[in-house]
Amino acid sequence: MIYLRSFLFQLFFWLWSIGTAVLMIATYPLPRRANTWSLTTWAKGLIWGLRWLADVKVEVRGVRPTGNALVAPKHQSMFDVFSQFALLPDACFVMKKELLMVPLFGWHGLKAGMLVVDRGGHSTALKKLVRDAIERMKETRQIVIFPEGTRGAVGQPGEYKPGIAALYRELNMPVTPLALNCGSHWNKGFIVKPGTIVFEYLEPIPAGLKRGEFMRELQTRIDTATKALEDSGV
């Protein structure tokens, strides 16, 4: 049954995603809100497909940020990205420059005002990231940055990158850590395992901590809560 459910969901995922991406071309001449609505609708469709085709429920714990916010999730699956369009009012992701080359996806990212970072640009890239983030905050958005930078294996602590520390310092605002267990159900492969994907928005880390203290606190909170979700077997 798991193979059949996985096949049905994967078929739905690609048809729904490609169809939505093509239709979203019509939003290019429209205000960004049209693009935001389209991304939200697409993400909600994926959550529906997971529930009814793959027998995977989505549960949200904690307080979801609204207004200007800085969110730092664990990164195990592409669903970590997709889901936030449905769960946050106006998610703005930090995305690597290479993704701009992906047809439709990259174009929609630009239209959505995502924060594009050149990971080979080092300090210059970080300065640009901060400048762009300050501009996005004028639109009242939730900036989402994966501290690890890339997807990691389930159960493995990642290496936290300096981007989140730069945003935390320069924006001078709290950071909401986000623990999750997406990788236990839908990772890089074909199989989608039944169960419950949990997104747990943790207590925000207050602004003003020194860099080292902040990074230790962030990693401890995210990795501890994520391991608890994985060990719970939901």
Q: What is the pLDDT of residues 62-74, one digit of tens each?
A: 999 999 999 999 9
Residues 6+ apart with CB under 8 A from 103: none
pLDDT at residue 120, rounded to an integer = 67
pLDDT at residue 71, rounded to an integer = 98
pLDDT at residue 95, rounded to an integer = 85
pLDDT at residue 107, rounded to an integer = 82
pLDDT at residue 122, rounded to an integer = 67
pLDDT < 50: residue spans in the chain: none
Q: Are 132 and 114 in contact (CB under 8 A)?
A: no
E strand or H helix at 180, and its extent?
strand 176-180
Say what the pTM is: 0.93
In angstroms, the CA 212 to CA 214 distance is 5
